[in-house]
Chain A
């Protein structure tokens, strides 16, 4: 089933002072697929996710591009039409569930709210909320629906958020660093839950993360972002086994997977370029060990190095790696 559910075409977002946070980002999501956008802080991954949901606040602004959800363009919709898409068709969960939940309402009533908006009868909605709580493996579901957000743990709150999104059966779930604030043992449970539920409901997931471990655990395909651009995109196995872009390769080697007796981690020299100034050439050129003159002059285009594996690097031409 290779049907595209989301198409993002040359999406650009700017903030005040001319900061180009996202520049011409393009990618597709197939039905039921998990796509991970991975990158370091400031690379524009969260901004991309928010732009798809049209949650960019002034002075931020979407300056160009198109976003198609099931063939319908989202950026041109009125705010009212967009509200109908949010939550119903596209769900979103954020890093800190305590910020996403209202402290003065019980967790169950906040989950029920969306269902009641969908014109579901109240009693029916509450029954579904309880069932949803069981679905996201919250123990004592019948009691927990009446708990306030402060009465439950961080992991449980994130489960409430996942339940709140999934009970309306959206076709796409955007998850922005959903486990970053949680302990590793809790994180493992949430990842397992998300993997189970997306199979059960055939929901596509756009996963925003900085953690390659989570990418390895969840994603079907991956887009690696650097300084507002996607620099490499491909199947998860391809990205892990033979990354082509120098940034992806260096980032993989910076992951602490060894002991100090076995050697030292690779580091990436320099810092991310200032996005408020126009950049000539490749954005990674200043830090790239393989940069040549062309890299500093012309911005590289995304090329399909092999079927389904795209990379924006002058040194990569139609499949020959630069290792």
Chain B
């Protein structure tokens, strides 16, 4: 097994709620002790509901938000290490959900693509060659480059964002809901293009989404996040077909069926809301909504158990529960 490209260790992000720096300040534990790795050329899918900490995690990995505790290393170097900062920015790229708001509306697409190259010391001529080359790779016609973002369709705008993200040949791309603003047919196109680029350049992806079908299509491994903690992590097949965490069960059973004949399938619907992440938290985060929760779940936080083959689950009863899969 190759050395991991990205290593996230015991990462925490607590947002102060009031009291600021005072001792008794209350915190929102948005991300709480998360550890995982991404290997070169691999896609790790990150799934979870809104408020689970997906985007906070992405922002920390992109170096946009300093973690409260824990470390992130890319290619063996801490991303907050000043000596490696410039290299870090070149090694990582990002694509966000809304392509329109990630492009400057007042400049042409060409200019949006040229700017990062300028900052990295490319000459005008070299920049032009690279922009044309990259545009071709993401199937963006050369005539579109002189247009403004509003003159492009959503799918085309997203291709511009992808082109910009891969131009400097990063090793890791953070994709935060890259297709949720797109239509099904455009989504299929974008996903296929992302897979092609990955194969061509050996890119690693951190693919963040709430769409469980999209993440299954794209990922080698999947990480299920709930309330700022990892619930289950493993190979795509392990998480989808042999899940052991009750939260994964509820999440997957919430996905609408593929065919009307599955309408009356057994569902494990969640009731209530995600618990508040403020203050001291006791026990398992999912216990308040878990259909299998015991008293002990509310007392002690479950450890991350290895179910074999690097399939991790943070449930005290992982592997012992009868989910009646059908």
Please give the residue numbers on chain A whose beta carbons come within 8 Å of chain B beta carbons, in ascending order.
40-41, 139, 153, 183-189, 191-192, 210-217, 219, 236-237, 240, 250-251, 254-260, 264-268, 271
Which chain A residue shows the least CB distance to B257? A216
B260 is contacted by which of A40, A240, A267 (Cβ under 8 Å)?
A240
A256–B191 touching, CB < 8 Å:
yes
A267–B185 touching, CB < 8 Å:
yes
B213–A214 touching, CB < 8 Å:
no
From known contacts A184-B49, A236-B260, infer whether A260 and B254 are also in contact, taking CB-CB under 8 Å: no
A183 is contacted by which of B50, B184, B258, B261 (Cβ under 8 Å)?
B50
Q: Contact mask B208-224 → A, CB, 8 Å, 1/0?
A: 00111110111000000
Number of interface residues of B (CB under 8 A): 41
A233 to chain B, nearest CB (A): 16
Bound form: Cα–Cα A216–B211 in Å: 17
B71 interfacial contact with A, CB 8 Å: no
B236 interfacial contact with A, CB 8 Å: yes
B104 interfacial contact with A, CB 8 Å: no
Given contacts A255-B188, A267-B192, 13 further A-B pairs with CB under 8 A are A183-B50, A185-B250, A191-B256, A213-B257, A216-B256, A251-B184, A251-B185, A255-B258, A256-B188, A256-B191, A259-B217, A260-B218, A265-B188
B49–A40 touching, CB < 8 Å:
no
A264 to chain B, nearest CB (A): 5
B188–A184 touching, CB < 8 Å:
no
Bound form: Cα–Cα A240–B260 in Å: 8
A216–B258 touching, CB < 8 Å:
yes
B184–A210 touching, CB < 8 Å:
yes
User: Which B residues are CB-close (under 8 A) to A186?
Assistant: 49
B136 interfacial contact with A, CB 8 Å: no
3 nearest A-B pairs in the assembled complex, by CB-CB distance: A213-B256, A188-B254, A254-B188
User: Which A residues are CB-close (under 8 A) to B258?
Assistant: 213, 216, 255, 257
A240–B185 touching, CB < 8 Å:
no
B86 interfacial contact with A, CB 8 Å: no
User: Which A residues are CB-close (under 8 A) to B26?
Assistant: none
A256–B213 touching, CB < 8 Å:
yes
